[in-house]
Structure 1
Amino acid sequence: MLITRSGKRAGSFRETSAGSERTTTKDRNEPEPSISVKLIADVVAEGDLDYIDITVIGQLLILATGASPEGLHARAAEIAVDLVRRGLLVPGTLDPEFHPWNLSTEAAAARLHAEAAAELQHSTLLGPGQICFFDITEKALREYPPTDAD
């Protein structure tokens, strides 16, 4: 059984609507994903309930934007990398407790990017927790506080 952050069952997804799109800047050569403020808030809200993974981000992406399944996990992985770089998500493992990767933010983002790219060469779908799980940071809770409406 997956340990949840608040004792609630994993996988409680909510209907969302697409928010305004914005693009962030970074000093990387990879293309920057355009992530809505609403999608980030939804990721933070889910992460406040339980540890999340790329499949959760993918499901939230579908709900927020109506994204098609084609390339979904690749897009979700790009979003996860960006949220790690922003300091909103921390990647790690569950066994059965959460253990963050012992890496700098940039090294964790680079590892996540490399592992997602390697896995997605073999399949367009990722299984739950296949690369890692994510915990949200205090910064994420401050910048995108979950509301009762979530």
Structure 2
Amino acid sequence: MGLDALPTDLLGTWTLTRVVDDRLAGERRDVVGTATLALESPDRVRWSEEGTMTWAGRSVPVSRTLYVDRVGAGWEVSFSDGRPFHPWATGERVGHPCGRDLYTGLIEVAESTWTVEWQASGPEKDYVMRTVHSERR
């Protein structure tokens, strides 16, 4: 694996640990759970996450589902409702406008782990969210 890893290279269930450093709110939020990448068809991977977010003495369950679809020679990530999110481009920064805010993301794949980092900035958001996926099952 590495810079040119495809979503199909990451199939399975991974341990997920996420840290959200919310500079606007002045707090840190942690998520522990799992991320599962499952092949739905040769051209579609379902990327689902579930876990528990904790901060300031509180905890809540969290979940989301994304899809990664082969489009031409590449792959595109979309939200569960079909809205486009970003291209799958390991080792390259990608952008996603969200209202007046901008998300800048980076997926990096190593031999036994992969990370996703998002930096959100703008009038309504100012945070860094870093997710480490390890221990594939």
Which has the larger strand fraction? 2
TM surpasses 0.5: no
Q: Given the two structures, how large is their TM-score scaled by the length of structure 1?
A: 0.28
Larger Cα-atom Rg: 2
Which has the larger helix fraction? 1
Q: Given the two structures, how large is their TM-score scaled by the length of structure 2?
A: 0.30
